[in-house]
Amino acid sequence: MKKVIIGLSGGVDSSVAAHILKEQGYNVVGAFMRNWDSALNNDIRGNDTINDDVCPQEVDYADAVLVAKKLGIEIKRIDFIEEYWNTVFSYFINEYKNYRTPNPDILCNKNIKFNAFLKFALNENVDYIAMGHYAKVRHDETKSYLLKAKDQNKDQTYFLCMLSQAQLRKSLFPLGDIDKPQVRKIAHDLDLVTKDKKDSTGICFIGERHFKEFLKNYLPAQPGNIVSIEGDILGRHDGLMYYTIGQRKGLNIGGSSKYENAPWFVVGKNISKNELVVGQGFNNPLLFSTSCICEDLNEITDPLEIGKVYQAKIRYRGEDNPVKVVKKDKKTVVEFVNPIRAVTPGQAIVFYDGDICMGGAFIKEVYYNGEKRQY
């Protein structure tokens, strides 16, 4: 009987994943990862007066304990607070400081769930680690492949694009072949405490918070003008870091006799003037690009072929777009077969060959026909 230790988060997905592993005949152990400590992080910042509400981690831990008891498995509680701060949260803050829009979940998977946790697991002499992600893994004799989940609406391979072959080789994803309604049904059939618990949509391991207020704890806001493409002042922004390319909500731009009554979208950032540039129309030409330069390319199993057409996602649950990798070096150049809307620096571009996730890279610069976008 092979031993598996599963990240038991206190949510319905990992709860059902643990049950499936037991049904498959594994010796299953649960582990609850604690990676955020408000008091400790206040000490690290040197400021204990910051308004930083306590995360609902204790509630999640209590639920994980009840799930483990119901399933008849052992549960461990482990802390990766320092690792999370150094390898995920500091990067997250630095990206916002540089006016990019980061995706902390990707680094959380790479550095915490499949690195720090994997090291812990190996010291426990387990054969595999497992997570409640919606993804598939195929272990061949010498290679392992990451594949899209059966539930395409929930597929989470986008967040796993930075895994190494060594990490994937030791991983299992029990939910790869079932969909979310089935997960809920299994949880109800087992009467798990997590059966109706809503899915988490907050920052990885930090929880759901008022995002602007939370970020103000770490970065001072620098309000400025919202301007049209023509340079007209249309309103005020709270700080360029709070806005992302293609964003519509939260601009609070009033009507103007000079412009049509059409929705406004963020089309750029003039960092030198601290101006948020907006344009009208979902398909505003300034929102489209034809190529990007990326860094930190990660190839999971096989190398990407120069010039081959792959499908790529530029955001979670985004549509697949045909692209070509034309250069691989410290900086990777990706050309889009068709212009793509709202390609955003800081986000990941993830490559697919059919259902196989080939890997990903972080977008740094965006271009339209060779001209750099003001993103």
What's the chain look like in SS3?
CCEEEEECCCCHHHHHHHHHHHHCCCEEEEEEEECCCHHHHHHHHCCCCCCCCCCCHHHHHHHHHHHHHHHCCEEEEEECHHHHHHHHHHHHHHHHHCCCCCCHHHHHHHHHHHHHHHHHHHHCCCCEEECCCCCEEEECCCCEEEECCCCCCCCCHHHHCCCCHHHHHCEECCCCCCCHHHHHHHHHHHCCCCCCCCCCCCECCCECCCHHHHHHCCCCCCCEEEEECCCCEEEEECCHHHCCCCCCCCCCCCCCCCCCCCCEEEEEEEHHHCEEEEEECCCCHHHEEEEEEEEEEEECCCCCCCCCEEEEECCCCCCCEEEEEEECCCEEEEEEEEEEECCCCCCEEEEEECCEEEEEEEEEEEEECCEECCC
Give catalytic status of residue 108 as yes or no. yes
Choose, from 55, 108, 294, 357, the residue flagged as catalytic.
Answer: 108
Is position 294 annotated as part of the catalytic site? no
Q: Is residue 84 within 8 Å of residue 108, measured between CB atoms?
A: yes
Distance separating alpha carbons of residues 64 and 69, to the nearest angstrom: 9
Q: How far apart are CA 340 and CA 323, in angstroms?
A: 10
Torsion angle in degrees (nearest 10) through CA of 58, 218, 115, 359: 120
Active-site residue, selected from the candidate residues 55, 204, 292, 294: 204
Alpha-carbon dihedral sign for residues 245, 246, 249, 253: positive
Question: Is residue 156 a contact partner of residue 135, using CB atoms and an 8 Å limit?
Answer: yes
Q: Which residues are catalytic?
A: 108, 204
